[in-house]
Amino acid sequence: MSSIEETIAAMARDARQAARVVARSATEVKNAALRSMAAEIARSAEAIRAENEKDVRAALRAGLPAAMVDRLTVNAATLAGMAAGLEEVAGMPDPVGSCGPSWVRPNGLQIARMRIPLGVIGIIYESRPNVTVDAAGLCLKAGNAVLLRGGSEALNSNRALAAVIGRALEAAGLPSTAVQVVPVAERAAVNALLQQEESVDLIIPRGGEELIRFVVASSKIPVLKHYKGVCHVYVDEGADPAMAEAVCFNAKVQRPGVCNAMETLLVHRSEAARFLPAMAARFAAAGVELRGCPETLRILPGIVPATEADWPAEFLDLILAVKVVAGMEEAIAHIAAYGSCHTEAIVTRDYERARRFVREVDSSVVLVNASTRFNDGSQLGLGAEIGISTSKLHAFGPMGLEELTTTKFVVFGSGQIRL
Amino acid sequence: MSSIEETIAAMARDARQAARVVARSATEVKNAALRSMAAEIARSAEAIRAENEKDVRAALRAGLPAAMVDRLTVNAATLAGMAAGLEEVAGMPDPVGSCGPSWVRPNGLQIARMRIPLGVIGIIYESRPNVTVDAAGLCLKAGNAVLLRGGSEALNSNRALAAVIGRALEAAGLPSTAVQVVPVAERAAVNALLQQEESVDLIIPRGGEELIRFVVASSKIPVLKHYKGVCHVYVDEGADPAMAEAVCFNAKVQRPGVCNAMETLLVHRSEAARFLPAMAARFAAAGVELRGCPETLRILPGIVPATEADWPAEFLDLILAVKVVAGMEEAIAHIAAYGSCHTEAIVTRDYERARRFVREVDSSVVLVNASTRFNDGSQLGLGAEIGISTSKLHAFGPMGLEELTTTKFVVFGSGQIRL
């Protein structure tokens, strides 16, 4: 074993020990730790910003893109956001220990499922230091220990945050090893982490598609992930044009750089000639570039022709692919062929087609008459989220506290044996 | 791509298409297919047994162990069991389409989670041909397509069963590609299957630990698995001796070769001198070899001393490791150090210790005053099971129909947009 592998293996073993302590900690102890973390962040603002300065200066020297430097920078507002997030998580109900309905077998055994922590969670992410704090808070509240591996360009910031979090954990009587930042810049640390299947129960990668594909291909540990969000809105025959326009505009324009923004608009043939010109004018005013199928081009002759590459594209920008479809059948088939199982919406007045769209579209969130932008833990009422899963195992859609837990069966008997 | 890779990739794509059809099929269509499969098996008994003969003769020629040949052999009872299993699954409630509780957000959005099929499931297993039919039935009822890769020594049997199942699917109006047997004996077929992450949603390996570790290390697709069952019974201070004896005897002896049999007995120090001699006599009469810790040996001087290798061992045989412990703390620590997160039981009269054992023992099924042998989908009231998971993601414990599904969020609005 290399020294990096040894370091990571030792951290993972420490995390496994710490996870046992956190798993049986009372809710009030975990909440005290979260509030103490929030207070420590405020108290240590200067030290955190000094370390962050080092990262920012190095990033500028290395010529990283401005957007990346921006995400890396910790200022007073970032710190206040971290503390507020921790307070919010402290206020959320504790999922651990709750039982679902119980049932009794003919032999008298009483059976229930009890919600329990997952154990040790590894998070692999890119440059934002606030993920360090947000992820630590959610994992801890759900009774888990966490290993955090941020981008190497944020290492000083993350180490400073880890020190602050460690002090807060100890103040609450919890082991500081319940939240550990991997202190190694080399990529080999990620590989080593992905081999710790005896000590780590779940890996959550957050970042670009390339990072996530690397993690999935290398990990012996289960991975919760989403590659991309290619979200569709289908404007059905007979849809309320004002509602369709409002939903589509919001889905594309309100925040185009995020995974739940609309990337392709599907319009029923019978609505296209009326709906598209008004919609296109509104999009044009907002600076949205439209890329249309041949039928769209006949209605909107000035726009860019869509190529095959546009249909599965996640633009994350003010660009929208537009396709006219013959009906529900074609809309659902297009989504199945090009979508990413993320978020799809229909705008309709028809009861049967609304039911069918909800039933047949295979996405983590399917909406009727609402914007795709609602695929978000907080918007759906789950509270803070750790990410969105587009793979179906364990979690499909936004992942909140509950998705950081699992259930075990508990069985109460009076001496039953199997016959 | 090799021709094996091409074959597997094409099968996986066909399965993805078939999965879309099965996912939206009505319960009565799926049940008709299951009943038709049962009838076809009875009708084609002769053809199935003729193909199975070929496998059995080849296995005998190759000198496979008698137990393996036995598991490979299909007789009238095996066929009747397959048909009965399919009828049972047909009678179970359909999980697909049901929604949990729904809630309304302040903006009026109504939100629920709807249960949906996983999609395409790959099962990799060893020689038993009945797994082909059992797995096909459960996957189909849960709305999935399935790719079945049995042992190469059962290839003729599995092909014959696949032909029968395919006819039954078509008779019910479903695509025969919803259940496919991988028709390739080479191990490369397994590797190729594990790379189809675009078309396959879940891999379930069933077999020895070596096979399962290979699958976990090679798969880009999520894997549900259990490596082994090292199950413990802890006889607490003050436990009812008759109950403790009955539970321990049942857990060890009723069927020693299965994963939920007890492998280590932990006895509280204050009970050991009274409990162990009577228990040991009963075990001796049943042919159980005991391997004891030093303190056990002082009470039962005739038995084999346990070595360090005995504590994490899954004997799957009439062998039992026995350890005297100072109390709950040591019992729970021993289970955490050597257990496999499978099944653990306590025999106790003490309310607080029962609660603590249930809370703190990190196993998929934790029992109070009942035999470990109850870790079984049917015994716990879940109906037929596809296996037991000891990893925590998605499913922990016995996996029935529900564990072959997931949930998506469905959102009903009236034009809501995000502000």
Per-residue pLDDT tens over the stretch B45-54: 999 999 999 9
Q: What are A134-189's pLDDT values in tens digits?
A: 999 999 999 999 999 999 999 999 999 999 999 999 999 999 999 999 998 888 99
Number of neighbours of residue A187 by Cβ within 10 angstroms: 11
Q: Which of A393, A412, A413 sits opposite B222 (nearest CB)?
A: A393
Taking residues A376-397, what's their average pLDDT? 93
The per-residue pLDDT for A250 is 98
Q: Which of A25, A342, A374 to mutate to test the interface with B (most CBs of B within 10 A)?
A: A374
Which chain A residues are within 8 Å of B118, Cβ to Cβ? Answer: 392-393
What is the C-alpha separation between B145 and B126, in angstroms, rounded? Answer: 20
Q: Per-residue pLDDT for B226 more than 90?
A: no
Q: CB–CB of A217 and B216 under 8 A?
A: no
Reported confidence tier of residue B376, pLDDT bands at 50, 70, 90: very high
Q: Which of B20, B220, B359 sits opposite A216 (nearest CB)?
A: B220
One-letter amino acid at A42 equals: A
Q: Per-residue pLDDT for B1 more than 90?
A: no
Which chain A residues are within 8 Å of B369, Cβ to Cβ? Answer: 412-416
CB of A264 within 8 A of CB of A320? Answer: yes
The per-residue pLDDT for B306 is 98
Which chain B residues are within 8 Å of A336, Cβ to Cβ? Answer: 20
Q: Which domains does chain A have, with CATH numbers?
A: 3-225+398-411 (3.40.605.10), 231-376 (3.40.309.10)
Question: pTM above the 0.90 mark?
Answer: yes
The per-residue pLDDT for A127 is 73
Which chain A residues are within 8 Å of B114, Cβ to Cβ? Answer: 358-359
The per-residue pLDDT for B127 is 73
Q: CB–CB of A394 and B394 under 8 A?
A: yes
The per-residue pLDDT for A52 is 97
Which chain A residues are within 8 Å of B249, Cβ to Cβ? Answer: 417
The per-residue pLDDT for A2 is 84
Q: Which of B236, B389, B411 to mutate to test the interface with A (most CBs of A within 10 A)?
A: B411
Q: Count interface pairs A-B at CB distance under 8 A.
A: 209
Q: CB–CB of A366 and B412 under 8 A?
A: no
Which chain B residues are within 8 Å of A249, Cβ to Cβ? Answer: 417
Reported confidence tier of residue A207, pLDDT bands at 50, 70, 90: confident
Which chain B residues are within 8 Å of A381, Cβ to Cβ? Answer: 103, 105, 111
What is the C-alpha separation between A242 and A278, in angstroms, rounded? Answer: 10
CA atoms within 13 A on the CB side of A128: 16
Q: CB–CB of B118 and A393 under 8 A?
A: yes
Q: CB–CB of A105 and B393 under 8 A?
A: no
Reported confidence tier of residue A227, pLDDT bands at 50, 70, 90: confident
Which chain A residues are within 8 Å of B410, Cβ to Cβ? Answer: 358, 365-367
Taking residues B290-305, what's their average pLDDT? 97
Q: Read off the DSSP letter of residue A94.
A: P
Check residues B280 and B391 and name the one with the higher pLDDT: B280
**Residue A250, C-beta contacts closer than 8 angstroms, at least 6 positions apart:** A371, A373, B417, B418
What is the C-alpha separation between A55 and A72, in angstroms, rounded? Answer: 8
Alpha-carbon distances, residue A117 vs A394, A403, B361 (angstroms): 13, 10, 12
Mean of all residue pLDDT scores within chain A: 96
Reported confidence tier of residue B227, pLDDT bands at 50, 70, 90: confident
Q: What are A282-332's pLDDT values in tens digits?
A: 999 999 999 999 999 999 999 999 999 999 999 999 999 999 999 999 999
Q: Which of B254, B370, B413 sits opposite A370 (nearest CB)?
A: B413
Q: CB–CB of A366 and B105 under 8 A?
A: no
CA atoms within 13 A on the CB side of B361: 35
Which chain A residues are within 8 Å of B418, Cβ to Cβ? Answer: 250, 254, 371, 373-374, 379
Reported confidence tier of residue A128, pLDDT bands at 50, 70, 90: confident
Q: Which of A103, A223, A375 sits opposite B381 (nearest CB)?
A: A103
What is the C-alpha separation between B215 and A209, in angstroms, rounded? Answer: 24
Q: CB–CB of A374 and B109 under 8 A?
A: yes
- What b-and-e string marks burial along B108-130, b requiring 16 or more CB atoms within 10 Å of the CB? ebebbbbbbbbbbbbbbbbbbbb
For B93, the token pair is 């409630």
For A409, the token pair is 């069966």
The per-residue pLDDT for A209 is 85
Nearest-by-CA chain A residue for B98: A359
**Residue B277, C-beta contacts closer than 8 angstroms, at least 6 positions apart:** B299, B300
Q: CB–CB of B408 and A397 under 8 A?
A: yes
Reported confidence tier of residue B192, pLDDT bands at 50, 70, 90: very high
The per-residue pLDDT for B128 is 86
A31-40, A103-112, A212-221, A336-345: least confident range: A212-221
Which chain B residues are within 8 Å of A410, Cβ to Cβ? Answer: 358, 365-367
The per-residue pLDDT for A343 is 98
The per-residue pLDDT for A264 is 98
Specify which residues A103 forms β-bridges with: A111
Q: Which of B409, B412, B414, B419 to mutate to test the interface with A (most CBs of A within 10 A)?
A: B409
What is the C-alpha separation between B229 and B55, in angstroms, rounded? Answer: 30
% of chain A exceeding 90 in pLDDT: 92
Closest C-alpha among A386, A12, A387, A64 to residue A189: A12
Reported confidence tier of residue A208, pLDDT bands at 50, 70, 90: confident
Which chain A residues are within 8 Å of B398, Cβ to Cβ? Answer: 409
Taking residues B370-385, what's their average pLDDT? 94
Taking residues B254-278, what's their average pLDDT? 97
What is the C-alpha separation between A120 and A222, in angstroms, rounded? Answer: 12
Q: CB–CB of B409 and A373 under 8 A?
A: no
- What b-and-e string marks burial along B257-290, b requiring 16 or more CB atoms within 10 Å of the CB? eebbbbbbbbbbeebbeebbeebbebbeeeebeb
Q: What are B194-225's pLDDT values in tens digits?
A: 999 999 999 999 988 888 999 998 999 999 98
Nearest-by-CA chain A residue for B337: A17
CB of A33 within 8 A of CB of A127? Answer: no
Taking residues A90-95, what's their average pLDDT? 96
Specify which residues A235 forms β-bridges with: A267, A347
CA atoms within 13 A on the CB side of A389: 22
Q: Which of A220, A249, A392 sits opposite B201 (nearest CB)?
A: A392
The per-residue pLDDT for A185 is 84
Pairing of strands B387-389, B397-399: antiparallel
What is the C-alpha separation between A290 and B247, in angstroms, rounded? Answer: 70
% of chain B exceeding 90 in pLDDT: 92
Minimum distance, in Å, between the CA of residue B6 and any CA atom of chain A: 20
